[in-house]
Amino acid sequence: MVFKYIDILGESTKSFDDAVRNAIEETAQTVKDIRTGDVTRMNVIVSEGKIVEYQAVMRVSFKVKRKE
């Protein structure tokens, strides 16, 4: 079995948890058989002294499938 890794960035105006969830759910639309997600970094975007966006940078692994 072989796994491939990709880096993704999830964004949310609500929370880091929501940013992670958004990243996985959106990636799962085109990448099948996701196995793990490792949050490697969390960032916030600030405007006028307030957090306006949460970002989660993740490394995601998925199973590589052969063409049959």
CATH number at residue 35: 3.30.1660.10
**Residue 50 falls within a domain, yes or no?**
yes
Report the domain count for the chain: 1
pLDDT number for residue 65: 84
Per-residue pLDDT at 21: 98
Residue 24 lies in a domain: yes
The residues of the chain scoring below 50 in pLDDT are: none
Q: Which of 60, 52, 62 is nearest to 23 (CA)?
A: 60
pLDDT, residue 66, reads 77
Question: What is the predicted pLDDT for the residue at 68?
Answer: 72
Asked if residue 67 belongs to a domain, the reply is no
Residue 68 within any structural domain of the chain: no
Contacts with 58 (C-beta within 8 Å, 6 or more apart), sequence order: 7, 8, 9, 10, 20, 23, 24, 37, 38, 39, 40
Q: Which domain holds residue 54?
A: 3-62
